Amino acid sequence: MESHKLLLPRGIQDFEELRTGGYYYVDKTDLVWQIANTYKFCFLSRPRRFGKSLLTSTLKYYFEGRSDLFRGLKIMDLEQAWPKRQVFHFDFSGIDSAKDLTAHLSDRIQEYEAVLGIEHPKSVLKDRMFDLMRHACQQTDNQVAVLVDEYDAPLQNTLFRNEEQDALKDVYRSFFPCFKTGSQFLKCLFLTGIMKFTQLSLFSVLNTLVNLSFNPRFATVCGITKEEMGQVFDAELKSIAEEKDITKLQVLAQMEAMYDGYHFHWKSDGIFNPYSVVNALSEHQFSNFWISSGGNQMLSEMLGRYGSQDKDFDGCMVDNITLEESDANATDVTLFLYQAGYLTIKEFDGDVYTLGSPNREVRQALYSIVLPNALAKREDQVSNCTTRIKAALNKADIDEVMENLQSIVAGTPYSQDNSQKAMEDRFVFILKHVFYLCNCDMEEERHVAKGRIDLVAHHRKCILVMELKMDSNGGVDAAENQMTNRKYADAYKAEQKLLFTISMDFSTEQRGLTNYKINKINS
């Protein structure tokens, strides 16, 4: 089948369907082989919508010896024997109680007992699983594989329900030791998830469980590299370029800004989110697909419980041991944001990781939740206002931008530190992320010859150079004089965009934007 006739695998998570249905496939099978043949007990965490289920499915068909599905792929240079193994596949997604988890395990085990002809199973789940592995190993004369997809989903779904969490942990702790006691029958136990719940004692019960999540060897096993984007999806990128009358490289650059930038090891290549890539290529639009796919309620609740209302997570630092061994039950929001994919590794100095948003899509997903908390407004109120600001920016109608901006910051709550500096920092934080949500690239405290500019918003139509003063510190006149005297706008006059300076006056007492002046610098 010619590459330009291939289908985009939108919603496809089964490897057999993907390979037999004429879909694009980014070949990761060399890494699949290495996982399958290097580790007996292993775990891989990745953010949601990152291809974990497809990876698990690929492992399933490999262990079953389905060489027909792998023709032409990298694994064919590595695997010669293709032994057929019994695979036990569990998927915990959608489960939110200990009762349902127990029922799921029992039902799946019962299905496999019927396949293997076990007529009088034991009553305890772990004993039944042990017998399954033993029978299958004897029948096939090969060790078995056990795959557990989204192992942490029940724990995520009950994160703030302590009683249900405890009941779930009892199920995990009673069931999973059977894999250690039956290890002689086991070729590989592979678990995927988003979070690592160390308090389960799962990682001590299975004390040989290897966490592959930070292993540089497997940093690209889920997701798509830039090189893979250009090679595998060449025809789709060219099609979008022709439709939009731009080059393929320009299309790739826009997709890179929106969906690339994940790093699962500090030395690894940047990784594109596959879910967003496939949707963008399908719709020929660079929209925010990841946030619309769900999974944000837990973040909203986490921020409400433990998050700072005006914390900027870009550039935050985390000790390497804390990040690599973190527990999802921890109340540190930064750790949660990393594991959930809202933050990624930016730098590493040997002891400390510096984290930040991987790309524009994720930043907007995060701050669409953070901003309503900082503003003490409903998400729909903030969303409606940012939509109006987007429309105004598209028309370069800066008067309308400022009217809506004045509305969105009205009644901003005091910070815990009620000083003038704290309130000024809060307003800068809010302005920066409002403009981020309106598809602007932002500069903060940009150094120029005679000073530092508070904020600069780069929109495709215009550039806004902003200076902010509290009313008790000279207000709008002081801000305008500072911008004029220090020639802040000069740094941007060469750019082929409309250029505006905006002086702003914020009031601590009124908790909002009380006055502003707009100056158009060029035409």
Digit-coded pLDDT (tens) for 176-228? 999 999 999 999 999 999 987 765 556 666 767 899 999 999 999 999 999 99
- Side-chain-side CA neighbours of 162 within 13 Å: the count stands at 0
How far is it, in rounded angstroms, from Cα 28 to Cα 396? 45
Specify the amino acid at residue 180.
K
Q: What is the pTM of this model?
A: 0.91
- Mean pLDDT, residues 350-375 taken together: 91
Look up residue 45 and give its DSSP letter. Answer: E
Kindly state the average pLDDT of the residues 303-321.
79
Residue the block writes with tokens 């902010």: 468
> What is the C-alpha to C-alpha distance for residues 422 and 378, in angstroms, rounded to an integer?
23
* Residue 310 predicted with pLDDT over 60: yes
Residue (of 435, 388, 423, 432) closest to 407 by Cα position: 388
pLDDT value, residue 198: 63
Identify the pLDDT of residue 1: 39
Position 308 scores a pLDDT of: 60
Comparing 41-55, 86-100, 273-287, 304-318, the range with the smallest average pLDDT is 304-318
Dihedral sign (CA 355, 435, 414, 296): negative
Domain 27-218 fold is: Rossmann fold (3.40.50)
d(CA 223, CA 220) in angstroms, rounded, equals: 6
Tell how strand 271-272 and strand 224-225 pair up.
antiparallel
What is d(CA 404, CA 426) in angstroms, rounded to the nearest whole number? Answer: 18
Backbone angles phi, psi at 352, to 5 degrees: -130, 135
Place of tokens 């300076």: 501
> In the prediction, which pLDDT does 311 show?
73
User: Which pair of structure tokens corresponds to residue 467?
Assistant: 């200076």
Average pLDDT value for residue range 155-159: 87
pLDDT tens-digit map of 376-416? 888 889 999 999 999 999 999 999 999 999 998 888 776 65
Dihedral of alpha carbons 330, 333, 334, 340, sign = positive
Per-residue CA distances from 267 to 218, 262, 272 (Å): 12, 11, 16
Does residue 414 come out as left (phi exceeding 0), alpha (psi in the -120 to 50 range) or beta?
Answer: beta
Q: How far apart are the first and last CA of the chain?
A: 53
What's the pLDDT at 52? 97
CB atoms within 10 A of CB 406: 15
| Mean pLDDT across 463-475 | 90
Per-residue model confidence (pLDDT) at position 341: 92
Domain boundaries, the chain: 27-218, 224-289, 295-360, 386-520
Predicted local confidence at residue 413, as pLDDT = 75
Q: What is the CATH number of domain 386-520?
A: 3.40.1350
Q: Can you tell me the distance from the alpha carbon of 155 to that of 162, in angstroms, rounded to the nearest whole number? A: 10
Report pLDDT digits (tens) over 1-27: 344 579 999 999 999 999 999 999 999
CA distance linking residue 39 with residue 20, whole number of Å: 29
